[in-house]
């Protein structure tokens, strides 16, 4: 779907480059996660890819054609859900939807979407009366207005309660099941585990690691088994590496001879990987 090569970008007012040579591909039908700490350039990358920022270096190919060739028709087929929802606050939710819907040839069933997201009942209310979470849900309906083939989502679940975040994540998964492709940026590793087919971690304006979450966990994995057992009047803990467990006599001796209280396997999480590859603590 996308081929991004040596992408670099500097905001006109800044001295330093924000994006410094990014390379990645997005395959059709996948949810591709763009991950990294705040301020690393995730939103900037998305803005470049939706042609809001045009003065970039390097090349971006969308469906095998240079992105620069596309004109306004590009927006007929991509959906954009950005961080800060911008709606007409004096209009009702429904008026907002209808206003934007008119711009598109291919129009989604927005009533059903609003119902799924729990804002249909409030569609006649002015957006200025909407809560933050309602605005975010309305923003997602806006992104889906034109039945896009490619969906850009920038931190889509931030500001939603867990129940609404779940509904939104289900809609994103359904969108992929229907053949859609998604670029999702986030710093919430739980969302990534649940949604992303492949991920790219950003650090210092570059991509430092790309793979499936499963492969990354294997690559960075230091899985272990932690055993708690009774020793005299006390509880003792001991950790064993999972990899070498079958050859570890100390482990077998312990299991055979001691009174075991608990055994827990500890697997590497995306949070651990996030910290390792970006050098920054994620705040999931």
For ligand ADP, the binding residues (CB under 6 A) are: 11, 13-14, 18, 36, 38-44
| Least distance in angstroms from the C-beta of 228 to ligand ADP | 40
Cβ proximity to ligand ADP, 84 vs 255, nearer residue: 84
Structure tokens at 171: 């809609």
Closest CB to Mg ion belongs to which residue? 43
Which one, 40 or 108, has the nearer CB to ligand ADP? Answer: 40
CB of residue 42 vs Mg ion: minimum separation in angstroms?
5
Output Rg (C-alpha) for the chain, integer angstroms: 23
Question: What gap in Å lies between CA 22 and CA 185, rounded to an integer?
Answer: 15
If the CB atoms of residues 253 and 281 are measured against ligand ADP, the closer one turns out to be 281
| Among Mg ion, ligand ADP, none, residue 18 binds (CB under 5-8 Å by kind) | ligand ADP
Q: Which of ligand ADP, Mg ion, none interacts with 14 (beta carbon under 5 to 8 A by kind)? A: ligand ADP
Tokens of 209: 């690691």
Q: Least distance in Å: CB of 132 to Mg ion?
A: 16
Q: Distance (Å, rounded) from C-alpha 184 to C-alpha 78?
A: 13
- Residue whose CB is less far from ligand ADP, 40 or 165: 40
Of residues 242 and 280, the one with the C-beta less far from ligand ADP: 280
Q: Which entry of ligand ADP, Mg ion, none binds 40, CB below 5 to 8 A by partner kind?
A: ligand ADP
The tokens describing 182, both together, are: 């998604």
State the minimum distance, in angstroms, from the CB of residue 15 to ligand ADP: 10
Residue 41 contact partner, candidates ligand ADP, Mg ion, none, CB within 5 to 8 A by sort of partner = ligand ADP
Q: How many CB atoms sit inside 10 A of residue 175's CB?
A: 20
Q: Segment 37-56, which members bind Mg ion (CB under 5 A)?
A: 42-43
First to last CA, the chain: 29
Q: Closer to ligand ADP by CB, 123 or 206: give it.
A: 206
Distance CA 146, CA 279 (A): 39
Measure the CA dihedral 112/173/179/214, to 10°.
180
CB of 35 to Mg ion, least distance (A): 11
Distance (Å, whole) CA 136 – CA 164: 10
Alpha helix stretches (DSSP H) within 66-161: 74-77, 93-101, 110-116, 132-144
Least CB distance to ligand ADP at residue 18 (A): 4
In the chain, what are the helix, strand and coil shares in percent, each to the nearest 5? 35, 30, 35
Residue 64, contacted partner among ligand ADP, Mg ion, none, CB below 5-8 A by kind = none
Q: Which of 203, 276, 283 is nearest to 18 (CA)?
A: 203
Find the shortest distance in angstroms from Cβ 44 to ligand ADP.
3
Q: Which residues are CB-neighbours of 263 under 8 A, at least 6 positions away?
A: 225, 226, 227, 228
The option from ligand ADP, Mg ion, none interacting with 181 (CB < 5 to 8 A, set by class) reads none
39 binds, among ligand ADP, Mg ion, none (CB under 5 to 8 A by kind): ligand ADP
Contact footprint for Mg ion (CB under 5 A)? 42-43
């Amino acid at each position: 779907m996308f081929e991004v090569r040596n992408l670099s970008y500097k905001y006109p007012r800044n001295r330093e480059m924000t994006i410094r040579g990014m390379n990645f591909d997005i395959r059709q039908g996948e949810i591709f996660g763009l991950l990294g700490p705040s301020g690393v350039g995730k939103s900037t990358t998305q803005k470049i890819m939706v042609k809001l920022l045009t003065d970039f270096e390097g090349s971006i190919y969308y469906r095998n054609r240079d992105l620069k060739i596309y004109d306004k028709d590009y927006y007929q087929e991509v959906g954009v859900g950005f961080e800060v929802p911008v709606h007409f606050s004096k209009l009702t939710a429904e008026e907002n939807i209808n206003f934007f819907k008119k711009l598109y040839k291919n129009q989604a069933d927005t009533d059903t979407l609003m119902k799924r997201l729990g804002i249909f009942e409030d569609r006649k209310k002015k957006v200025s009366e909407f809560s933050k979470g309602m605005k975010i849900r309305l923003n997602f309906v806006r992104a889906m207005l034109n039945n896009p083939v490619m969906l850009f989502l920038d931190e889509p679940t931030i500001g939603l309660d867990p129940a609404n975040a779940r509904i939104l994540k289900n809609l994103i998964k359904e969108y992929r099941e229907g053949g859609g492709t998604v670029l999702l940026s986030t710093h919430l590793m739980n969302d990534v585990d649940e949604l992303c087919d492949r991920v790219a971690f950003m650090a210092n304006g570059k991509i430092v690691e790309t793979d499936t979450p499963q492969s990354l966990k294997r690559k960075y994995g230091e899985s272990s088994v932690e055993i708690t057992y009774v020793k005299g009047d006390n509880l003792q803990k001991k950790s064993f590496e999972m990899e070498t467990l079958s050859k570890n006599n100390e482990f077998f001796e312990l299991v055979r001879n001691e009174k075991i209280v608990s055994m827990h396997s500890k697997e590497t999480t995306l949070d651990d990987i996030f910290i390792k590859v970006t050098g920054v603590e994620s705040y999931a």
